[in-house]
Homo-oligomer: A and B are copies of this chain.
Amino acid sequence: MKTNSDIIIAHNKPKAETFLSKIENKTPLFIATIATTETGKIPGLSAAGQNPDFTDFTPPADAELLLLGKCKSIQGVPITPEGIPTPGLITMSALKLADIPVMIANAGCKVKPQVPFIELGGNSGRDIRTGNSVDNVEEVIERAKTAGQQLAKTSDYLVIGESIPGGTTTALGLLSALGVNAEGKVSSTLPLNPHTLKTDVVRLGLKAAGEKFGSLNNNPIKAVSCVGDPMMPALAGLTIGAADQVPVLLAGGTQMTAVLALINALNPKTLGNIAVGTTRWVTNDATSDIKGIINQFCKVPILAADLNFGNSAFPGLQIYETGLVKEGVGAGGASIAAMAKMGDAINKEVLLKAIESNYKTLMSMK
């Protein structure tokens, strides 16, 4: 099989190759599922915003960036406290290069994006330390299934990403509630992964809910309601709704393992038509273990975009090579989809050039 050489088969090779063969030369619909939570504002947990309160603006601004090529809810683009630009810049560049359509699914944002979005009926999430973090889980899953069923009819396949600050902590929360051991295994936007803080937050959440590790493995709806986030039911529902018609690429890092665990609990046959699509920064990350999480409950394959910003002229992009950010807004999955659609016409060098050009334009707008 002649495959774009910058798509890495990172896990479960035979299934990964089968999945890849289904998406080559095809045009997907990209869906960015956005939400915010109070968990994301716990100091030290997330770098997805200039400061904790700013995380409310990151997902809507990412949505605007994807649809308009610039943000409306904020000046410039979302950045980390160090000034590193959102991975949404990668996603936007990849989708534009390959002319891939994009829709936004609002799973629960405090600040609504100033662009059209699919409303799924969720609310912004509370701090999981309350043990009661997400509303309307069952209803959001149902609505998202309905949307997924319809969207699947419009496209060769779906690529579904997320923008939700603090999402790896809530991923650890849901995985723990469902009995998947993910302590020390979830990724981080920070180079120094704050595993101890994440573990403490999750343990407090489980305790507040009167639950413990694995105690909700037969009650996935309650598990999300107690210690999950609003992105999970939306993304799981979209996937379950679509995957019996078309392949679905879950575009994200270790957060997608929580979505997989939720799908596994709700409708395991869906797992047969999906893959995780992420970046080399996630699959090579020494501070997390995406494969170690997935291996505990399923054989879903992982693809990774072999992005490399080491030679970028822009320090803000070069720094991605130090482990900052790594993934988000479906950057890895969007890159894979663009490469798979266009063959070697889009490789990592072409993509980096487009990213640099868009970055330059966006910086000059400030």
A147 at the interface (CB under 8 A from B): yes
A114, A120, A147: residue with the most chain B Cβ atoms closer than 10 Å: A147
Tell me which residues across on chain B come within 8 A of A146, comparing CB atoms. 67-68, 115-116
Contact with B along A54-94 (1 / 0, CB 8 A): 00000000000001100000000000000000000000000
A143 at the interface (CB under 8 A from B): yes
Tell me which residues across on chain B come within 8 A of A154, comparing CB atoms. 29, 101, 154-155
How distant is the Cα of A99 from the Cα of B245 in the complex, in angstroms? 12
| Cβ B119 vs Cβ A151 within 8 A | no
Tell me which residues across on chain B come within 8 A of A153, comparing CB atoms. 27, 99-101
A150 at the interface (CB under 8 A from B): yes
Tell me which residues across on chain B come within 8 A of A101, comparing CB atoms. 150-151, 153-154
A342 at the interface (CB under 8 A from B): no
Contact of A67 among B27, B119, B120, B150 (CB under 8 A): B150
| Cβ B144 vs Cβ A116 within 8 A | yes
A8 to chain B, nearest CB (A): 28
How distant is the Cα of A67 from the Cα of B120 in the complex, in angstroms? 13
Taking A150-B67, A154-B154, A155-B154 as contacts, is the C-beta distance between A119 and B103 under 8 angstroms?
no
A163 to chain B, nearest CB (A): 17
| Cβ A143 vs Cβ B118 within 8 A | no
Which residues of chain A from 326 to 344 have a CB within 8 Å of any chain B CB?
A: none
Copy count, this protein chain: 2
A72 to chain B, nearest CB (A): 10
Contact of A119 among B100, B116, B143, B144 (CB under 8 A): B116
| Cβ B29 vs Cβ A116 within 8 A | no
Contact with B along A224-256 (1 / 0, CB 8 A): 000000000000000000000000000000000
Contact with B along A17-34 (1 / 0, CB 8 A): 000000000010100000
| Cβ A150 vs Cβ B102 within 8 A | yes
Q: Which residue of chain B has its CB nearest to the CB of A64?
A: B146
Tell me which residues across on chain B come within 8 A of A119, comparing CB atoms. 106, 112, 116-119
Contact with B along A96-124 (1 / 0, CB 8 A): 00011111001000001011111111000
How distant is the Cα of A287 from the Cα of B205 in the complex, in angstroms? 66
How distant is the Cα of A349 from the Cα of B121 in the complex, in angstroms? 39
Tell me which residues across on chain B come within 8 A of A99, comparing CB atoms. 153
How distant is the Cα of A67 from the Cα of B144 in the complex, in angstroms? 12
How distant is the Cα of A27 from the Cα of B114 in the complex, in angstroms? 30
Which residues of chain A from 192 to 242 have a CB within 8 Å of any chain B CB?
A: none
Of all A-B residue pairs in the complex, the 5 with the closest CB atoms, nearest first, are A101-B153, A116-B147, A154-B154, A101-B150, A119-B119
14 A-B residue pairs with Cβ-Cβ distance under 8 Å, sorted by A, are A99-B153, A100-B153, A101-B150, A101-B151, A101-B153, A101-B154, A106-B119, A114-B121, A116-B118, A116-B120, A116-B147, A117-B118, A118-B119, A119-B119
